[in-house]
Structure 1
């Protein structure tokens, strides 16, 4: 019997033995297990009318809308001017536009996203929906960049099986012992991750050579 090929989840980068284990993981975690053919922020948006004088486009995604300063790649921002979506003042760069907006229109409900170079009403919702922003695999919150994600994860444990953070003084071992979602070794009483169980269903990772109790 040929050994199963190692495959990697595109979204969380975990490695599994065989496609069946990967697909089961992706279904349980709601992860995209293979790389999408194309990734665009506008894929989940719907265009709404805006006065043409601004040179901008307003789009909405559920209850959280976005305003694109220009419909063009970021690499061409220096080649064409940008217009403020509120007062239509022209700027040559995104940095200039965002500084102007933060000073002149500080009370506006729209907030600039420097990564996507658009304006959004709800930044947290935008971070969760946009594929250009990193996500926490435990609580599914999105963040502006990897630095902000690391700040979110600092000082706490994360359980991708239970989709929750483990905050001190509770330890990961205590969480494994109390949670019914983690299988338990009948000999050493230690617990393991469900994903590891899918990869090695009958071997205890603590090397006690015993079978695992069923969930």
Structure 2
């Protein structure tokens, strides 16, 4: 009499595990529903991360919507607030509030691509707010400053997360995010890039990196005077 072999896809009570059944019958991209398979694998990964799972469960209990594979990245103006635990750069779960007041929780395990986008937008907003607290005006979506009106400019890596600062000839100090005003951000970043290509890279780096943020305006004024002197002498 042949020995009975238990189907490994069934649990102790004999019920079939839908996740294991799907994984066993789907060989990666050969599966008939690759997106569904990918989503089920994400749910499995979530179950393997107790801390992340606990945050998602807590969000569900609070009535938050949980982002899934159909959730799209919103425009900058549609995000009103971001919440996370610990350091945002290390967070695995981020909750955002929309302009309509809806709270949506995004999990790194469930929707990794969406999470990466939302996390970076959150980091950019947080960085922008920190710089605004230092006394700079946020260059919003409708802010336009021509290149010839910009006196001093920062560089993309100074703050990171798509945030750059600049000052106008009339003394206004701005900070801008590429997620809110990409045209303005690109203009300032290009000025920095063009300046480096001008052959004064070492001095430029010294002008911009030896000054602490608290005294950056004074340092920039001195650096600008040196650059103007070098420009005049080279004519």
TM-score, with structure 1 as normaliser: 0.25
* Larger of the two Rg values belongs to structure: 2
Larger helix percent: 2
